[in-house]
Structure 1
Amino acid sequence: MKIIQLEYFLAIVKYNNFTQAAQFLHISQPSLTATIKKMEADLGYDLFTRTTKDIKITEKGIQFYNYAVDLVQNYHQTMEKMHDLNISEVPKIKFSILESTNQWVSQIITTHRSTFPNQTYQISEVHDQAIILEHLLNFETHLALTNEQITHEDIQSIPLYEESYVLLTPQNAFKQQRTIIIKSLPLILPSKGLQVRKHLDDYFMRMNIHPNIVIEADRFEAATNFVHRGLGYAVIPRFYYQSFNANNLDAIEIKPKLGRTIFINYYKKRKHSERVLSLVDHCKDYWNVIK
């Protein structure tokens, strides 16, 4: 039996529907059905019971599923390690971060490399939580930072720290005010669909604010450049203000306060190396998270 057949079977269990599973796998439904029938013939028992209305996994199918999950996970982990070992003797750690976390993550990696000097890393920025979850479950990422908790039974989601959102302005634009109400100000906000924008939209709704949005941007770096140009005021996370790009600008606390929590996430069912778990501990130690 081939790994691809097991993946076909797992897709049907996931979607509980042959049509949706076939669409996910990018194959035809008749081809998927034929594959499952051949598997059942080879095994000597049914994996599913089928009616015109639905399908149900059999008791033996459930037992087969548990073995199939382990086999597929081990296969992907092995293939990943073999690919990495083609490049380096030590598999690289794949770490998905947020744009606002660049500053402190660079310090963490510096410390981590002092313990593991031959370790390499692949750092990516992903802000869509659905994509982050998919990458974790599909072994494409070891660790991921998110600005909301991932509520999935197979994901360990650990809160690291809380930070407020601030209003980024040209220096002395508001004469050293400590807090500010942003109701009528020309704002530079993240684009629709980004998690930070969802936080802000929820805030505006709760405060009954109709924001004056002059520019939408996908990255804080772009928003900060627009502030430098005097095109408006950007709402950014407090720790992004530490970045080089925000030099010569002021950060004013928003009133009423608006904030978020940053989480580090990993797949609990994946057998992580000592090096990956050490990187998690470094992040927790940096933020004094109780272990």
Structure 2
Amino acid sequence: MKILQLEYFIEIVNQNSFTKAARTLHISQPSLTATIKKMEAQLGYPLLKRTTKDISITEKGIQFYKHAKTLVHQYHQTMEQLYDLKLSQTPKIKLSIIESTAHWISTVIKAHNLENPDQHYQITEILDLNTLTQKLLDFEIHFGISNDKIKHEGITSIPLYNEDYVVLTPKDEYQNHTSVSIKHLPLIVPIKPYQVRMHIDDYFTHLQARPNIVMEVERFEVATNFVHQRMGYAVIPRIYYQSFKTNHLNAIQIRPKIERTIYINFAKKRQFSPQMTALLDQIQHFWRFKKH
């Protein structure tokens, strides 16, 4: 069975129509129908139920669809990586970040690119520590920034800087306060199992208190919007607030404070190009300079 056949089947399911799928794939409908029938004959079970009006997918067809999507995705990902090797002697640097680091990492990459104008980059956002660890070990990314240390024998985890969390409030509230307790405040927090949420949950566990959570969101940007609407108070990293000066909002120190450490991580067994090593050095130098 060929990748092209899998792509045909996926398109039929996505479009829920042989006619629409054939139009998208630029082949004739009879040819597409024949391909699916041939696949079903090879497999020994039906993938689709056809009527004069519509189609539906069988239970085995659903499982086949899931596997087919995975295989097609892996195929295209592999071909892209192989093409990258042919295209350039300097393959793209793949870096995962967390939302609060987007501002300063763009500054570092810009400086790196000025010295390496032919270098390409791929920036993704990975918030789950287990996912980040696996992608580093599978060599899918070169570097990953995290807000906790990765404790794995195959990963080098280097601390970059420490930062505290602040509570984001409307501009006209807590104006004369240098710090505030968040024990009883209506809070807007990240969803589980993100590391920031774990930090907040651990903080309240240590205080032997229960947080008053009124909303759970995925991104600090979304939380900020709801603070504007006065629907609660957001707990965010200080550097996020400093990097994205938010009009009409204040960032107040939390009492007692919550802190975290930001790390740069990479697989120990991975061999880096000079450009990759230079980027790692520049990231570390940026924060050594900031500390002083």
Q: TM-score, normalised by structure 2?
A: 0.69
Q: Any idea what the Cα deviations from partners look like across 1:115-168, whole Å, max 9, x if unmatched?
A: 111111100000111100110011100000011111111211000000000001
Amino acid in the other structure paired with 1:279: L
Q: Distance in 2 between matches of 1:249 and 1:83?
A: 47
> Are residue 253 (structure 1) and residue 253 (structure 2) matched?
yes
TM-superposed CA distance for 1:114, in Å, is 1.3
Q: Distance in 1 between matches of 2:176 and 2:95?
A: 38
Matched residue, 1:104? 104
Q: Distance in 2 between matches of 1:248 and 1:121?
A: 35
Amino acid in the other structure paired with 1:215: M
**Greater C-alpha radius of gyration:** 2
> Are residue 144 (structure 1) and residue 144 (structure 2) matched?
yes
1:1-291 mapped onto 2 (5 Å cutoff): 82-86=82-86, 88-244=88-244, 246-288=246-288
CA separation of 1:247 and 1:117: change in aligned 2, threshold 3 A: farther
Q: Any idea what the Cα deviations from partners look like across 1:169-213, whole Å, max 9, x if unmatched?
A: 111311231100011111100112111101110000001121111
Q: Distance in 2 between matches of 1:160 and 1:253?
A: 21
Partner SS state of residue 122, structure 1: strand
CA separation of 1:209 and 1:140: change in aligned 2, threshold 3 A: same
Segments of structure 1 that go 5 or more residues without pairing to the other structure are: 1-77
Q: Distance in 2 between matches of 1:230 and 1:195?
A: 25
Q: Distance in 2 between matches of 1:85 and 1:91?
A: 6
Write out the 4+ residue segments of structure 1 that deviate beyond 4 Å after TM superposition: 78-81, 86-89
Amino acid in the other structure paired with 1:139: F
CA separation of 1:104 and 1:265: change in aligned 2, threshold 3 A: same
Partner SS state of residue 286, structure 1: helix
Q: Distance in 1 between matches of 2:273 and 2:88?
A: 16
Q: Any idea what the Cα deviations from partners look like across 1:24-77, whole Å, max 9, x if unmatched?
A: xxxxxxxxxxxxxxxxxxxxxxxxxxxxxxxxxxxxxxxxxxxxxxxxxxxxxx
Matched residue, 1:10? none
Q: Is the 8 A contact 1:188 1:234 kept in 2?
A: yes
Identity %: 51
Pairs aligned (count)? 213
TM-superposed CA distance for 1:248, in Å, is 2.8
Matched residue, 1:52? none
TM-superposed CA distance for 1:277, in Å, is 1.1
Q: Distance in 2 between matches of 1:263 and 1:80?
A: 29
Partner SS state of residue 166, structure 1: strand
Q: Distance in 1 between matches of 2:277 and 2:206?
A: 39
TM-superposed CA distance for 1:249, in Å, is 1.2
Q: TM-score, normalised by structure 1?
A: 0.70
TM-superposed CA distance for 1:81, in Å, is 5.4
Partner SS state of residue 140, structure 1: coil
